[in-house]
Amino acid sequence: MKKSRVFVAAGVALLATGVLVACGNSKSSDSTAPKTYGYVYSADPETLDYIISGKESTKVATSNGIDGLFTNDKYGNLTPAVAEDWSVSKDGLTYTYKIRKGVKWMTSDGEEYAEVTAKDFVNGLKHAADKKSEALYLAETSVKGLSDYLAGNSKDFSTVGVKAVDDYTLEYTLNQPEPYWNSKMVYSIFWPLNEEFEKSKGSDFAKATDPTSLLYNGPFLLKGLTAKSSIEFAKNEQYWDKENVHLDTATLAYFDGSDQESLERNFTSGAYSFARLYPTSSNFSKVEESYKDNIFYTPSGAGIGGLGVNIDRQNYKYTSKTTDEEKTSTKKALLNKDFRQALNFAFDRTGYSAQVNGKEGAPLAVRNLFVKPDFVTAGEKTFGDLVAEKVKTYGDEWKDVNFADGQDGLFNADKAKAEFAKAKTALEAEGVKFPIHLDVPVDQTSKNFVARIQSFKQSVEKVLGEENVVIDIQQISKDEFFNATYYAANAAAEDWDLSGAVGWNPDYEDPSTYLDILKSTNSEQTKTYMGYDDPSNAAAAKVGVKDYDKLLDEAGKETSDLNKRYEKYAAAQAWLTDSSLFLPAMSSSGAAPFISRVVPFSASYSQSGDKGSNLYFKYIQLQDKVVTKADYEQAREKWIKEKKESNEKVQKELTKHVK
């Protein structure tokens, strides 16, 4: 995926967001605590341009170097960064931010370049618009005048609703109230960009392997980036809040997933600050014995990984199909909702998760909805509760389905067979020949990804019968895999029937952050999830995506009553669930076993944005001794209590900002 916090669900990317997702605060480090942080990353950035890129690979390299108006504190609250204070008009349309004086732009070499001003935020959004940022959907319909500027109806960016009133006052004007607007400011498209530096670099600005091609105002400076090797950071000694930066350096080593056991080895040697463990690896029994008191499971994160369904495949470089008849039959099958539902119900997600988490931890990571079911609540009901009520209207197959995390509410062999029987009758009438062959590409170096897709193949073929459906796993190199899925230039290059290279991390605190990305107009997403990039695509029309668009438009207009808003977005999620155009699988972060020297709950926490602890190292503290499971659980209980109290306090104080 190319917009927003795109997440590769292919295996290794799951590692990069592991243990820290759950972190917040526990105890302080002392002067003897380690100051060097180490772990892994899984994909080299195509660019360092944090404004235009939505890929996780770019965020890993840049989120520590650039701060926007806000970051997240240890309890998930928005906390001022470059913005010292803020206010919103009573009608909810005008947000005014007071820019903190003395925040410096620094070069990679640690030399002061300029002061950060309100103009840098205006220039950042202009850069996003002019360069067609992959994350424009976050701003396009929100900021007044931006859609007209993007459409060419206005050539003057000053008509757009972002203005530097003076060097230290920034103002945004919105088209309609957005109660979650400030949470968007933690996403990189809204971060500042120094215009003079950008122009001085020209085409060399933000080059993928050149730390000197960016300026930095965040807690760390990017010092080195070697492709398929390492990313290196050093503490920014001129950072305005350096007292909360407890690390001197951070190094991420490239990890392709081929040697899972290297994570534990490097942790044991002291090179890594924590390690994600694999209960299915050959040496796990020894690891379990060595760290019997230290292995803990983190809570499930907000990210989602699953399988995309290509409704209009055009490329067949990686395929087991030998005839045009097989290609046509597969296309027709994937356009049939009953067939897609059969796949959805035949998918054993617990078995899938077990390939990574082992049998004991397998259920913890299972997800049944695209939107995390407890991401928001309406009164006493979770978002998942609302969806369960809505989806029942689509058919009896959805009655009594449990959408909560941590259990497989969708896997049901009887339902799968019933839906397939309906599909087969209809498809044979269209001349479709069985079995249906479904190509699923995998990165052959990622052992756990290959194992998960093999598990998917086993469950689907067992439930539906190999005489009906065959999953053809295409094991290819990492570069081939990325080029056919994650980095595919357009829909024509998406070379798959089902793809495990789909997933999402939310950008802000509202269900729209998940669901809006799959609107038919978001071509960067629809091509990666569903294989089409034209809103007028005939296959898209056939599966009814315009009905989905309509539900989203209706939900987006509800801004005064959050409970009603969530109800309407639940209706859109119900449509997506029933369509089975995306097969949810498991949380892409957390819900996994770890060993760690990170002080439990010492890092920032967030369900959304680019300042969560998987990307942002500002508050992280390390300790000499390996964390015990008992210490972790005790710290977690304390954090949960403190988080509830802190969130409630912040919520009450929001009225003070209304002017």
| Whole-number pLDDT of residue 30 | 53
Token pair listed for 458: 């086993």
In whole angstroms, what is the distance from residue 430 CA to residue 634 CA? 60
Coil/strand/helix, residue 233: strand
Query: β-strand 36-41 against 249-254: which pairing, if any?
Result: parallel
In whole angstroms, what is the distance from residue 279 CA to residue 232 CA? 30
**Is the dihedral angle over the CA atoms 377, 379, 381, 386 positive or is it negative?**
negative
Strands (E), 255-295: 274-276
Token pair listed for 76: 């998930």
Token pair listed for 194: 């120094």
The 10s digit of each residue's pLDDT in 244-280 is: 999 999 999 999 888 889 999 999 999 999 999 999 8
The 10s digit of each residue's pLDDT in 302-330 is: 999 999 999 999 999 999 999 999 999 99
Every domain of the chain and the residues it spans: 65-206, 305-583
CB neighbours of 413 closer than 8 A, spacing ≥ 6?
345, 346, 463
Token pair listed for 540: 């898209």
The backbone torsions φ and ψ at residue 276, rounded to the nearest 5 degrees and listed phi first, read: -80, 130
CA distances from 216 to 190, 221, 492, 510, 653 (A): 15, 6, 37, 29, 31
In whole angstroms, what is the distance from residue 29 CA to residue 617 CA? 15
The backbone torsions φ and ψ at residue 460, rounded to the nearest 5 degrees and listed phi first, read: -65, -45
Burial class (CB in 10 A: 0-12, 13-18, 19+), 386: buried
DSSP assignments along 514-542, one per residue = HHGGGSTT-HHHHHHHHS---TT-HHHHH
State the chain's maximal CA–CA distance in angstroms.
Answer: 74
Coil/strand/helix, residue 653: helix
Give the angle subtended at the CA of 566 by the CAs of 561 and 572, to the nearest 5°: 135
Coil/strand/helix, residue 252: strand
Residue entry with tokens 């950060």: 116
Query: β-strand 169-173 against 94-99: which pairing, if any?
Result: antiparallel
Enumerate the β-bridge partners of residue 306.
502, 584
| Whole-number pLDDT of residue 18 | 35
Cβ contact 297:291 at 8 Å: no
Enumerate the β-bridge partners of residue 562.
none
Using 70 as the pLDDT threshold, list the residues of the chain that sit under it. 1-31
Class in CATH terms, 305-583: alpha beta
Query: β-strand 274-276 against 469-476: which pairing, if any?
Result: unpaired
Cis ω for the linkage preceding 435 (within 30 of 0): yes
Q: 120: part of which helix (H) or strand (E)?
A: helix 118-130
In whole angstroms, what is the distance from residue 409 CA to residue 344 CA? 11
Enumerate the β-bridge partners of residue 475.
442
Q: What region, left, alpha or beta, does residue 610 occupy, with left being phi > 0 and alpha being psi -120 to 50 degrees?
A: alpha
Smallest CA-to-CA distance from 310 within 493, 576, 483 is with: 493
| Whole-number pLDDT of residue 31 | 64
Architecture of domain 65-206: Alpha-Beta Complex (3.90)
In whole angstroms, what is the distance from residue 340 CA to residue 407 CA? 21
Enumerate the β-bridge partners of residue 300.
590
How far is residue 404 CA from its own chain's centroid?
A: 19
In whole angstroms, what is the distance from residue 273 CA to residue 252 CA? 10
CA distances from 327 to 311, 312, 319, 438, 467 (A): 12, 11, 10, 9, 17
Coil/strand/helix, residue 485: coil
Query: In 567-576, which positions are buried (b, 16+ CB within 10 angstroms) versus exposed (e)?
Result: bbbbbbbbbb
Cβ contact 526:532 at 8 Å: yes
Q: Torsion angle, CA of 220/221/223/226, rounded to 10 degrees?
A: 70
